[in-house]
Amino acid sequence: MKIFFSTLLVIGSLLITGCTAITSANMQSAPDCTEDRIATTEQEIAALFDRWNQSLQTGDPQKVVANYAGRSILLPTVSNKPRLTPAEKADYFHHFLENQPSGEINMRQIEIDGNMAVDSGLYTFYFAKTGEKVRARYSFVYRRDGKQWLIISHHSSAMPEK
């Protein structure tokens, strides 16, 4: 599992920074692929979910979308359509927020590599309007844009077993 997250971080870093050379032996970026590294903690990365969850509480889709980088992907829990643009994400969250969701992390694993971080695990959404509860798997991939951490990839899928 750790190899998966490390590989995901390296590949994500290379895609974002435009680096193309990878050594096949250990999936590390080539020496000519440098970037400024930001010291961060798991607690800081964990707090990014809290920021995202608090934006859900506002009921404003634009505040939720503000957590995402301009070039990012949302693979949502309750829609089959990948959301690539800010407008597509806002459309998804407009409908998602109608049921007044609130998320809670059940378990997580955080991996950090410089300006990239992955927070993956299980969460539960509670919907105040309907009383429904949905357990799901999630992955947030974050990249620091120089000022703040933004989501570049968010995948969420309902748990297959009830």
- Here the contacts of 126-133 (C-beta below 8 Å, separation 24 or greater) are 126/101, 126/102, 127/99, 127/100, 127/101, 127/102, 128/99, 128/100, 128/101, 128/102, 129/98, 129/99, 129/100, 130/99, 132/99
Residue 161's pLDDT band (cuts 50, 70, 90):
confident
Looking up tokens 């829609």, which residue turns up?
A: 79
Is residue 23 assigned to a domain?
no
Q: Which residue has the higher pLDDT, 22 or 124?
A: 124
Residue 17 reports pLDDT greater than 60 = no
Q: How far is residue 28 CA from its own chain's centroid?
A: 22
Asked whether residue 11 is domain-assigned, the answer is no
Q: Is residue 4 part of a domain?
A: no
Q: What CATH number did the domain enclosing 147 receive?
A: 3.10.450.50
Q: How many domains does the chain have?
A: 1
Give domain status of residue 64, yes or no: yes
Q: Classify residue 116: in a domain, yes or no.
A: yes
pLDDT band for 37, please (50, 70, 90 cuts): low
Per-residue model confidence (pLDDT) at position 26: 41
Q: Which helix (H) or strand (E) holds 123?
A: strand 116-127
